[in-house]
Chain A
Amino acid sequence: MMQWAQELLKKVEATRSVRLEQPAPVLDSVQEGALLKQYHPDYLGHERKLAVGPNAGEEKFPLELAELLEGDSSLEPDTTPKVDIETDVLILGGGGAGATAALTLAESGLSVHLATKLRLGDSNTVMAEGGIQSALAENDSARRHFADALVGGHGENDPELLRILCEQGPESIRWLSQLGCLFEQNEDGRFRLRAGGGTSVPRVLACRDYTGLEIMRVLKDAVRLTSTHILEEHVAVELLDDGAGQVTGAILFDRIAGKRICVSARAVILATGGSGQIRLQGFPTSNHVGATGDGLVLAYRQGCRLIHLDSYQYHPSGACYPEALAGQLVTEAIRSIGAQVVNAEGVHFINEMAYRDVLAGAIIKEIAEGRGVKTPHGKTGVWLDTPMIDLKNGAGTLARQFPGLIHRFERYAIDPTKTPILIYPTLHYQNGGIRVDTQCRTDRVGLWACGEVTGGLHGKNRLMGNSLLDITVFGRRAAESVLGNLPERGASTLTNLERFRSEREKVEGLAQTRSPQFFPEASGMKLESCAVEEAPKEEAASQSFEPPNPFNF
């Protein structure tokens, strides 16, 4: 195992005793700024202004995203929506934010449909490892939580949204717990709190390194027990409007039946999550297969403004070896209990609890300056010295607190309790998104948005644990706002799309891209032509094979 790295590993081992005692460099804010400008992917100029839509000519967007936002719909120009389903509320996206909104609406007496691209819960939420923030410690407060997140977001956070997030923290933990989430407790029955990057006091609750899994499986179970109509493998391909600007439903593509359906709704809640799978600058990603930024594209065509999308989070610790795990997340919580970041020479080059963007920049700099470790697959990374955890906290700590990490690496004969792992920044979180007010309303009546698809809350850098809180607080808030502001049913037209299309026609030289992208390029998955009333496809080849029962061989 890792034979190729034997010599390099010796250098890491050699400096451990020194590193146990000596603190690593901490940068001041001027040094941090300089580092970011020179090395962080957000600052390297891979961006441009948009030529169409509400943000046209203003701030810049990453090139890959810009192309999707300016892209054309996959609907034929003469499509006329014919309503198949009438509902009160249509939720798009079955991750944490969408499921939370559905649960909040469960007792309202309204009819609720939740449509999601993959299966319910196949999302970024289920992948979250490290934890969820909430000010529960004695020396903590919602104000201190706010201060940490604002400094982390470089002061760009929308203060009103951020205040709501922090004030609602404890109540959200209560809500999740009452649904049955088992966050870890200390002997005395109080929640166990860990530090996270940029938290000034321990504030992160967790369920081992499976916190998102715990939240998502509970939400999923709870939603299935409500009267919510769940439409799995239903992809939102376009939003509908009433001809006067109000959003009134969506066109979905049913991947199983291979046909389009049209849903008329009095309110639409967009909860389609992030966009790591568009792989900015070719970066690997930690995100699930459905994270292709669809919601951004759909809302933008309706005329909703987007904010802070020049800012993405590159998580400093993405796995970089073995190749099969490339891009997958190694949770930050591992750094908070003692795993150090170390270069090829065994030097602990920066304090690993620096903000994520700073740490990512610092890792890229080490590599650029030749102090990285090259894998046999031609990737380069730095060490995350995981054996330090047991050295600092006693044998068994790593295995006990991070079973997920061990489980993933042991398949490749790597034991992180004995061997450090190689990391490289991975495209992790869409900091910006659709602009919303404190009620989760977008610029269009009838359209609400919550979760990773929105922007403003986290400023230009999100702290660990704040987005699981985000989806809980704002998933509930979006639903409550819908309840208080439910519009009357409107006509189902594609007027906003037509307006966007005619705007496109006036611009020369636009790429012929169709968007949203829906699936990662590498997967080769496609939305079948999307024709109305298309005959059902032939069953996939796999269906003709009865899967053998593995225990009857």
Chain B
Amino acid sequence: MAEKKVEIRISGKTIQAQAGETLIHAIWSAGMPESIKTGCAGGVCGACTVTLRYSDGRKGGTELACMKPVEAGMEVFPCPVDAEAPVEPVMEPDVRSLQAAFPTLNRCTKCGSCSTACPMSIPVMDSVLRMQKGEFSEVAEDFTTCIHCGLCRFVCEDKVKPHNMGLWVRRSLGMSRDLSIPHGENENTEKEWQYLMHTDRELRLQNARQFRQTGKVES
């Protein structure tokens, strides 16, 4: 298949890109790597945030440059979002403690920009409303896939910090979990280690092969 070229603009500079490649690869190939931040190049670190405009009047928006394929006529503006200082999570969180940690919680005007901005399709605004109602397990679920790119905070004119609150809720719930973690010892523990840690490499491997079948030393 012949590779088609498409023309896009990065921070006002026109470059040629290969159809099908991502914005990051196009920016790299154009020799402008320092114009954008990259971390994972796999859509999970949130470093490569950009805003987009289309010359044909289609609605622009926010994106991850490492995930977004180039399209002819795209105008790209790198838009790095700085991290925000975190707030210490608490045990047994509730609306009051969330509000204390994030005083802008109730400033949300339900404009919906955060949900539109989210490259992970998280229903951010709905989740902010759930936070106000204290529906924290749903909130935790909503933010499962949040990569903390910060775009929802960046676009919020009312200084609500949805993803920071999302993580605070998740961490607070996590810390409050009652865990039962077995210690895994039994009367054969030492004997089993002796068998498995055999000083002869071949016998060690052979013993391990046997042990993994049943979890016991078979004599």
Contact = CB atoms under 8 A, between A and B. Distances in A.
Interface of A: 118-123, 126-127, 135-136, 138-144, 146-148, 150-151, 154-155, 159, 163, 170-171, 173-174, 177-182, 189-190, 200-201, 207-208, 210, 212-214, 217-218, 220-221, 224-225, 286, 288-290, 322-324, 328-329, 376-377, 403-404, 407-408, 411-412, 519, 522-525, 540-542, 544-545, 547-551, 553
B113 A118 contact: no
A177 B179 CA distance: 8
B44 A213 contact: yes
A442 to B, nearest CB: 24
A550 to B, nearest CB: 5
B209 A151 contact: yes
B209 to A, nearest CB: 6
A155 B199 CA distance: 12
Contact of B145 (A208, A544, A545): A208
Given A288-B45, A545-B77, A180 B212 contact: no
Contact of B212 (A147, A289, A322): A147
Given A118-B39, A540-B34, A173 B181 contact: yes
B41 A179 contact: no
A548 B77 contact: yes
Interface of B: 1, 10-13, 20-22, 25, 28-29, 31-45, 47, 50-53, 59-62, 67-69, 77-79, 83, 85-86, 88-89, 113, 116-117, 120-121, 140, 144-148, 155, 167, 170-175, 177-184, 186, 189, 192-193, 196-197, 201-202, 204-205, 207-209, 211-213, 215
Nearest to B88: A225
Contacts, number: 238
A189 B69 CA distance: 42
A523 B215 contact: no
B86 A221 contact: yes
Nearest to A544: B11
Nearest to B31: A524
Contacts of B120: 407
Given A155-B201, A155-B202, A144 B145 contact: no
A147 B1 contact: no
Contacts of B39: 118-119, 121-123, 126, 288-290
Contacts of B69: 324, 411-412
A143 B180 CA distance: 20
Contacts of B38: 118, 122, 289, 523
A126 B181 contact: no
Given A179-B174, A324-B21, A547-B79, A525 B34 contact: yes
Q: Is the interface of A mostly helix, strand, loop or mixed?
A: loop
22 contacts: A118-B37, A119-B39, A121-B39, A123-B40, A126-B40, A127-B40, A142-B184, A143-B211, A146-B196, A146-B208, A155-B208, A182-B173, A213-B44, A217-B146, A217-B148, A224-B83, A322-B20, A519-B33, A524-B33, A545-B77, A550-B61, A553-B59
Given A119-B47, A550-B52, A225 B20 contact: no
Contacts of B208: 146-148, 150-151, 155
Contacts of B209: 147, 151
Contact of B172 (A180, A408, A412, A541): A180
Contacts of B59: 553
A142 B171 CA distance: 28
9 tightest Cβ-Cβ pairs between the two chains A and B: A122-B39, A180-B171, A155-B205, A180-B174, A147-B208, A547-B77, A147-B211, A547-B79, A376-B1
Contact of B117 (A126, A180, A550): A550
Contacts of A141: 184, 186, 189, 192, 215
A182 B34 CA distance: 36
A97 B81 CA distance: 25
A542 B78 contact: yes
